[in-house]
Structure 1
Amino acid sequence: MPDLGKYAGAVLSSYAVALGLIVVLVALSIWRARRVKAALDLVEKRNKRHG
């Protein structure tokens, strides 16, 4: 790891925040995809009964 000097705290905390935000965005994307898939499955099931 390179020597960051007096900026080490700021740089490392910025990396940590960025990584945390990426993890949150991926988790939210997966959660939303599951919700949308469940809703689409429900609509498809309803259409099969009436169609």
Structure 2
Amino acid sequence: MMPELGKYEVEVLSSYAVSILLIVALVVVSILRSRKARAALDEVEKRGRKHG
């Protein structure tokens, strides 16, 4: 059930596709950065427990 987009169908659908890809890429990058930051914080906590 897709609306009639006329002569701009390719442009509209491609812009939707690009938008979805960018959103997915941002989510993936955010998850990866979160994991990296969490690992770094865990390392700092381990070092703090050894010396403190």
Taking structure 1 as the reference length, what is the TM-score of the superposition? 0.99
**Over aligned residue pairs, what C-alpha RMSD do you find?**
0.3
Gaps spanning 5+ residues in structure 2: where?
A: none
State the partner residue of 2:32.
31
Instruction: Give distance in 2, aligned partners of 1:25 and 1:31.
Output: 10
Q: Once the 2 structures are TM-superposed, how far is the Cα of residue 21 of structure 1 from its aligned partner?
A: 0.1
Instruction: Give distance in 1, aligned partners of 2:34 and 2:22.
Output: 18
State the partner residue of 1:14.
15
Which 4+ stretches in 1 moved above 6 angstroms? Answer: none
Give me the identity figure in percent. 63
Instruction: Give distance in 1, aligned partners of 2:33 and 2:6.
Output: 41
Alignment length, in residue pairs?
A: 51
